[in-house]
Amino acid sequence: MKIAFIGLGNMGAPMAANLIKAGHDVTGFDTQARPDGMILADSAAAAAEDAEVVITMLPNGAILRSVAGEVHPAMRKGAVHLDCSTVDVESARFVAQAAEEAGLSAIDAPVSGGIGGATNGTLTFMAGGPQAAFDTCKPLFDIMGQKVVHCGPAGNGQAAKICNNMILGVTMIATCEAFNLADRLGLDRQAMFDVVSTSSGSSWSMNAYCPAPGVGPQSPADNGYKPGFAADLMLKDLTLAQAAAKAADADTPLGEAARALYDQFVNREDGAGQDFSAMLPRFSARSRG
């Protein structure tokens, strides 16, 4: 398949590399690294010419809208714009409408799995958009990831991502609070893990991504909280979730509390550049007051 890939940063570059390894013809633009076998274009529009699928992996909705405005006129009729960025639902739906008006189709398919998942081809994709466009992209999802869920019409991929990560942000905070309380009560962290990971308090934050070093499977906590998923990115996703909640008039008090705490951690404490599970040493260093 002839593919354009725009936005080749920490996530996009390894995703594109896996497509090249699978035999696809990939032209790239906006790159920090050049995967072997990739052709580089001088502009996003030039990369998109004649592509069957144009993949974007971009930082935010404003940039996505701008890039879509550049590439849609250059794409051939019937091509698919596959956006794997994590952006606001409104931008995803705006781009889908713009694609339809240009004789194209669009899929919003944000990812879960981080840089490791992008490198290893084990990402999970949450996709929104028309069935025919999803079917066109399905072989590419199968190369870049291990699971894809078609969540419904345009914007629903983004909706699934922010709902999932709102749960993740809240549960990680609760897990870190509980470990800190266990420490203060004299409960051994390993004992805490052994009980909670097999009891009603179990969660992905505890079982697969334990924030306590030396406890449970290997996680960023065992590597000085070097980011697997940065606190900055958790703040971004929680902020997107609250923007969506406001637009939908949905009451999400724990989601807002998590957003506010990650905002404090990243912007007014030392959380910037740390993994989102570094909330544990943050709580450990503080008293109740």
Catalytically annotated residues: 161
Residue identified by tokens 């008006």 is: 101
Q: Length of the chain, please?
A: 289
The alpha carbon dihedral of 87, 92, 94, 98 has a sign of positive
| Cβ within 8 Å of residue 20, ≥6 positions away | 26, 35, 36, 37, 38
Task: Report d(CA 218, CA 154) in Å as an integer.
Answer: 36
Task: Report d(CA 167, CA 15) in Å as an integer.
Answer: 26
Task: Report d(CA 288, CA 154) in Å as an integer.
Answer: 44
Task: Report d(CA 26, CA 62) in Å as an integer.
Answer: 25
CA distances from residue 128 to 83, 95, 124, 254 in whole angstroms, order as listed: 10, 12, 13, 26
109, 137 contact by CB (below 8 A)? yes
Task: Report d(CA 20, CA 15) in Å as an integer.
Answer: 9
* 3-state secondary structure at position 146: strand
Which pair of tokens denotes residue 221? 């906590």
